[in-house]
């Protein structure tokens, strides 16, 4: 019999799991549904790849590999919570914590000096960045705001910063020399294998990637970001921000684009702190500073220097801030800047948050200020530029009246840019890069210079067919116009457009409003409709899937955590993601400081309901269907009664909202009449929960306002974390 797999992840979602999962288990126990937990936290993923460094009893199974295989099977039913996509500083933090707990795992070698270190680094690099989602996502993406969520937002709008037409905020992006402008693309007429070669100016050829196979109909593309063009662009933007008194901010995806974007981030660090790097270049080099990990790496490394020298460099860093431009802050109280670590400012969440806040970001004085949003590659920057222009012209969107933008995203089987890590290279020397097939044909070729970033992407044909089908299905089911966000002038998109036109013919599209528009035109079209209260499905590639499923939800309902996020797996299984947002590290901090967890598990409630529905269909289990339906009703009631977590200690938090969900769920089960056994089982439970509501909420709120301890960040202590997340004796005993 199949089961539901629940993932254990990191940070706020993992805390929430300790409170929510016991409730779920108690509710489904009598219905013949098995739930099993798989640990894909950063810590578990590290331990899983170093069995040879661990004692027998410390070893853990590779749950991610297991789930990756499961995702390809029809019986898959996985509830996937957000996990950390680790930047190098986070990875090192996790390693240090695990070592301090007695796990003998090796350090991360920044510059491996022998084969053993190379092996260690390559193992760690597989865990780095976005390493979970691409493995599990064996299907395309269907993300939308459920009606109940949308209605709640209309009645209880979140705050929206006003937009004025004289805002100086703007997007700065490259006009040439970037990935967008250098892209080349072909569709393969037949299956083949290709290798990637670099030939330098002396004719010496190096294999960058050995032969790997490609399928018939697969679209491949390759492109290059010129280092010189990038550095010139960044220098100009720093100067322009200074001149116009704008905050300098950089927005990119250092986690998902884990090879290319940290390099670009490093160039931005060097550009912004140019005076420091010019004056102290030798020492910085000697210290082995890794700029790609952000300015925090420089700050940590100079700690090793004698006081006088360290103070001199610190003074020069301060001078950079003084001479400007001012830099956007992640946390102005703690002096954490936009360039501290590459994982703090992630474009999918950072740009929408800024657009929601009148186009402003925080400066060092803790005040909001107009911003230059630097998005080096121009492939998708125009979407944000067009949204900002729209807000300047029409003012901020109004959550009480605006429409909604569901997304159908092409993402299966590591589609497009997000699958390019193993084919991305920082170029060592001037020359030519070629993608060559087994017959010696050159499929793609670029002239490159030292320091350029070259990458190749693929998207297979079957996922494209599945994506087109999903788009038509959603357009039909919701009777909503759907726009393919594809740019006929972009090499990759031009190939994709041909396929879209071909595969649309496989479906009945009669009466549907389906269009293909460039991302900028699609933004304008969608925003105009959105403002008028009309809905428009965005059908997009993998990067825009990521960007748009934060952009519109954050504007519409305040956070992407409230999204229903389904991945119908191509082999028939279901992957149910919980919301579209991340793991919000600052929520953990608040829990530790004041024992209040403001993480909202709404996305998890929605995901569990669809997972139960899927379970019922696959296993012919009528009870699972009822559990799913009643859970949805309970979620709606939770929204109506405003029992989501508050931001303030002493008020209802994540744990309290779980209690209310449990109570409403029990009440719905007690009221339904389709299954008598469930009704009989849950009637007394509903009564007990309701009778004890005041006491339970008091137990859950009274403990707040004081620091608490869970014994670790990446690998918290199980006993402590369970205690902290389940503090109500009354609730625990009812669940029992």
Ligand X SMILES: NC(=O)C1=CN([C@@H]2O[C@H](COP(=O)(O)OP(=O)(O)OC[C@H]3O[C@@H](n4cnc5c(N)ncnc54)[C@H](OP(=O)(O)O)[C@@H]3O)[C@@H](O)[C@H]2O)C=CC1
The contact set with Mg ion (CB under 5 A) reads: 348, 546
Binding residues with ligand AKG: total (CB under 6 A)? 9
Cα 575 from Cα 155, distance rounded (Å)? 31
Closer to ligand AKG by CB, 139 or 727: give it.
139
CB of 586 to ligand X, least distance (A): 6
Site map (CB under 6 A) of ligand AKG, residues 569-598, x = contact: -----------x------------------
Residue 172: strand pairing partners = 374
Q: Is 138 in the site for ligand AKG (CB under 6 A)?
A: no
Residue 561 contact, options Mg ion, ligand AKG, ligand X, none, Cβ 5-8 Å cut-off depending on partner type: ligand X
Q: Site for ligand AKG (CB under 6 A): which residue of 44, 81, 256, 268?
A: 256
- Distance from C-alpha of 28 to C-alpha of 421, rounded to nearest angstrom: 40
What does 559 bind: ligand AKG, ligand X, Mg ion, none (CB cut-off 5 to 8 Å by kind)? Answer: ligand X
What is the distance between the alpha carbons of residues 679 and 666, in angstroms, rounded to a whole number? 9
Residue partners of 599: CB distance under 8 A and separation at least 6: 12, 13, 15, 16, 561, 584, 587, 645, 654
Classify the C-alpha dihedral 545-547-548-553 as positive or negative: positive
Convert 471-506 into a string of H (helix), E (strand) and C (coil). Answer: HHHHHHHHCCCEEEECCCCCHHHHHHHHHHHHHHCC
Please spell the DSSP secondary structure of 666-700, one letter per residue. HHHHHH--S-HHHHHHHHHHHHHHHHTHHHHHHHH
Q: How far is the CB of 417 from ligand X (least distance, A)?
A: 16
Calculate the alpha carbon distances from 531 to 354, 553, 647 in Å: 19, 14, 29
Binding footprint of ligand X on the chain (CB under 6 A): 82-85, 133, 255, 343, 346, 349, 559, 561, 579, 581-584, 586, 598-600
CB 433 within 8 A of CB 197: yes
Closest approach, Cβ 336 to ligand X, in A, equals 13
First to last CA, the chain: 25
Taking the complex as a whole, the smallest distance from the CB of residue 15 to ligand X amounts, in Å, to 11
As a whole number of angstroms, the distance between CA 158 and CA 245 comes to 30
Does 360 sit near ligand AKG (CB under 6 A)?
Answer: no
Nearest CB to Mg ion, comparing residues 406 and 727: 406
Q: Which is nearer to ligand X, 248 or 576 (CB)?
A: 576
User: Is the Cβ of residue 545 or residue 623 nearer to ligand AKG in the bound state?
Assistant: 545
Note whether 9 binds ligand AKG by CB under 6 A: no
Minimum distance from residue 598 beta carbon to ligand X (Å): 6
Residues with Cβ within 8 Å of 318's Cβ and at least 6 positions away in sequence, in order, are none
Separation in Å, CA 297 to CA 92, 112, 259: 12, 18, 18
CB 253, min distance to ligand X, A = 9
Would you count residue 173 as binding ligand AKG (CB under 6 A)? no
The least distance separating ligand X from the CB of residue 582, rounded to whole angstroms, comes to 2
Cβ(653)–Cβ(704) under 8 Å?
yes
Task: Rank residues 348 and 699 by Cβ distance to Mg ion and give the closer one.
Answer: 348
Considering only 549, 657, 701, 708, the residue that binds ligand AKG (CB under 6 A) is 549
CB of 185 to Mg ion, least distance (A): 24
Of 130, 173, 337, 730, which lies in the binding site for ligand AKG, with binding defined by CB under 6 A?
130
Torsion of CA 43, 44, 48, 50, to 10 degrees: 20
Q: Which is nearer to ligand X, 586 or 671 (CB)?
A: 586
CA 74 to chain centre: 26
Residue 197 or 348: the one with the smaller Cβ distance to Mg ion is 348
Closer by beta carbon to ligand AKG, 344 or else 546 = 546
Residue 599 interacting entry, from Mg ion, ligand X, ligand AKG, none, C-beta within 5 to 8 Å by type? ligand X
> Applying CB under 6 A, does 555 fall inside the site for ligand AKG?
no
| Closest CB 236 distance from ligand AKG, rounded Å | 29
Residues paired with 233 in a beta bridge? none
Location of structure tokens 């070669």: 197
Residue from 17, 19, 77, 133 that binds ligand AKG (CB under 6 A)?
133
Q: Which of 9, 19, 41, 85 forms a contact with ligand AKG (CB under 6 A)?
A: 85
Smallest distance from Mg ion to CB 379, Å: 16
Footprint on residues 328-357 left by ligand AKG (CB under 6 A)? 348
Closest residue by Cα to residue 554 from 422, 399, 703, 676:
399
584 Rama sector, left if φ>0, alpha if ψ -120 to 50, beta otherwise = left
Q: How open is the CA angle 27-569-500, to the nearest 5 degrees?
A: 140
Judged by CB, which is closer to ligand AKG: 137, or 372?
137
CB of 218 to ligand AKG, least distance (A): 23
Give the CA angle between residues 541, 330, 270 to the nearest 5°.
Answer: 80
For residue 332, the SS3 value is coil
Q: Report in angstroms how near the CB of residue 556 gets to ligand AKG at its nearest.
A: 16
| Chosen from Mg ion, ligand AKG, ligand X, none, partner binding at 600 (C-beta under 5 to 8 Å by type) | ligand X
Residue 92 binding: pick among ligand AKG, Mg ion, ligand X, none (C-beta 5-8 Å cut-off by kind): none
Q: Token pair 């270190």 is at which residue? A: 117
Residue 551 CB, shortest distance to ligand X, in Å, is 12
Report in angstroms how near the CB of residue 560 gets to Mg ion at its nearest: 7
Q: What is the number of the residue whose Cβ is closest to Mg ion?
A: 348
Closest CA to 577 of 585, 589, 568, 590: 568
- Whichever of 134 and 716 has its CB closer to ligand AKG, that residue is 134
Q: How far is the CB of 344 from ligand AKG (least distance, A)?
A: 13
CB nearer to ligand X: give 550 or 613: 550
Q: Which two tokens stand for residue 259?
A: 């090879």
Q: Most distant CA pair in the chain: distance in Å?
A: 82
* Cα–Cα dist 731/557, whole Å: 31
The token pair at 342 is: 């590459």
Which partner in ligand AKG, Mg ion, ligand X, none is near 292 (CB below 5 to 8 A by kind)?
none
Q: Give the CA count within 13 Å in the CB-facing half-sphere of 209.
A: 20
260 binds ligand AKG (CB under 6 A): no
Please identify, using beta-carbon distances, which residue of 514 and 566 lies nearer to Mg ion.
566
Q: Which residues neighbour 697 within 8 Å (Cβ) at sequence distance 6 or greater? A: 652, 656, 659
Q: Is 7 in the site for ligand AKG (CB under 6 A)?
A: no
**Please, what is the minimum distance in Å from the beta carbon of residue 153 to ligand X?**
14
Regarding 255 and contact with ligand AKG (CB under 6 A), the answer is: yes
Closer CB to ligand X, 226 or 343, in the complex:
343
H/E element, 72: none
Taking the alpha carbons of 654, 634, 578, 73 in that order, is the dihedral positive or negative? positive
27 contacts 627 by C-beta, under 8 angstroms: yes
Chain contacts with ligand AKG (rule: CB under 6 A): 85, 130, 133, 255-256, 348, 546, 549, 580
């Amino acid at each position: 019999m199949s089961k539901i797999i629940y993932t254990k992840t990191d940070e706020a979602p993992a805390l929430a799991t300790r409170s929510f999962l016991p409730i779920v288990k108690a509710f489904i126990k009598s219905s013949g549904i098995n739930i099993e937990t798989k640990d894909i936290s950063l810590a578990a993923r590290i331990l899983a790849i170093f069995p040879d460094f661990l004692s027998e009893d410390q070893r853990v199974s590779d749950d991610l590999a297991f789930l990756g295989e499961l995702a390809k099977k029809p019986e898959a039913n996985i509830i996937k919570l957000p996990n950390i996509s680790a930047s190098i500083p986070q990875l090192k933090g996790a390693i240090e914590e695990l070592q301090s707990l007695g796990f003998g795992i090796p350090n991360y070698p920044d510059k491996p000096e022998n084969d053993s270190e190379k092996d260690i680094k390559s193992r760690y690099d597989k865990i780095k960045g976005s390493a979970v989602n691409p493995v599990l996502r064996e299907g395309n993406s269907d993300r939308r705001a459920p009606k109940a969520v949308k209605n709640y937002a209309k009645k209880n709008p979140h705050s929206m910063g006003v937009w004025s037409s004289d805002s100086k905020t703007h997007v700065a992006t490259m006009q040439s020399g970037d990935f967008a402008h250098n892209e080349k693309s072909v569709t393969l007429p037949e299956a083949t294998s290709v290798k990637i070669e670099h030939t330098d100016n002396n004719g010496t050829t190096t294999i960058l990637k050995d032969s790997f196979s490609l399928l018939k109909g697969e679209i491949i593309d390759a492109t290059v970001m010129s280092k010189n063009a990038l550095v010139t662009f960044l220098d100009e933007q720093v100067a322009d921000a200074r001149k116009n008194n704008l905050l300098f901010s950089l927005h990119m995806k250092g986690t998902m684009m884990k090879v290319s974007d940290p390099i670009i981030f490093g160039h931005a660090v060097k550009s912004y702190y140019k005076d420091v790097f010019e004056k102290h270049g030798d020492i910085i080099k000697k210290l082995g500073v890794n700029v790609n990990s952000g300015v925090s790496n420089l700050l940590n490394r100079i700690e090793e220097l004698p006081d006088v020298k360290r103070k001199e460099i610190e003074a020069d860093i301060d001078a950079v801030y003084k001479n400007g431009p001012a830099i956007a802050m992640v946390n102005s109280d703690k002096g954490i800047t936009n360039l501290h670590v590459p994982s703090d400012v992630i474009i999918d969440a950072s740009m929408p948050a800024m657009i929601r806040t009148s186009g402003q970001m925080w400066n060092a004085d803790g005040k909001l200020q107009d911003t230059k949003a630097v998005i080096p590659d121009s492939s998708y920057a125009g979407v944000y530029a067009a949204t900002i222009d729209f807000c300047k012209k029409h003012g901020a969107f109004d959550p009480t009246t605006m429409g909604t933008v569901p997304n159908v995203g092409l993402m299966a089987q590591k589609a497009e840019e997000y699958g390019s890590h193993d084919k991305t290279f920082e170029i060592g020397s001037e020359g030519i890069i070629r993608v060559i097939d087994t017959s010696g044909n050159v499929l793609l070729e670029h002239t490159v210079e030292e320091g350029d970033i070259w990458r190749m992407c693929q998207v297979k044909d079957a996922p494209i067919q599945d994506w087109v089908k999903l788009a038509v299905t959603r357009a039909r089911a919701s009777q909503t116009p759907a726009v393919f966000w594809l740019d006929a002038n972009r090499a990759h998109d031009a190939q994709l457009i041909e396929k879209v036109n071909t595969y649309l013919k496989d479906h009945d599209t009669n009466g549907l409003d389906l269009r293909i528009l460039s991302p900028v035109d699609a933004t304008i079209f969608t925003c105009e409709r959105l403002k008028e209260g009309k809905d428009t499905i965005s059908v997009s590639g993998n990067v825009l899937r990521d960007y748009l499923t934060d952009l519109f939800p954050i504007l519409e309902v305040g956070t992407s955590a409230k999204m229903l996020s389904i991945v119908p797996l191509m082999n028939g299984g279901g992957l149910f993601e919980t919301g579209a947002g991340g793991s919000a590290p600052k929520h953990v901090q608040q829990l530790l400081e004041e024992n209040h967890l403001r993480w909202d598990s709404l996305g998890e409630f929605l995901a569990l309901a669809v997972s139960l529905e899927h379970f019922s269909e696959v296993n012919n289990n009528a009870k699972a269907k009822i559990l799913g339906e009643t859970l949805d009703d309970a979620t709606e009631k939770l929204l109506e009664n405003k029992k989501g977590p508050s931001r303030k200690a002493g008020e209802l938090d994540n744990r309290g909202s779980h209690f209310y969900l449990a109570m409403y769920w029990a009440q719905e089960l007690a009221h339904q009449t389709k299954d008598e056994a469930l009704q009989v089982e849950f009637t007394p439970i509903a009564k007990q929960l309701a009778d004890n509501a005041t006491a339970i909420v008091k137990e859950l709120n009274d403990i707040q306002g004081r620091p608490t301890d869970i014994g670790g960040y990446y690998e918290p202590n199980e006993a402590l974390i369970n205690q902290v997340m389940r503090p109500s004796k009354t609730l625990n005993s009812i669940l029992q």
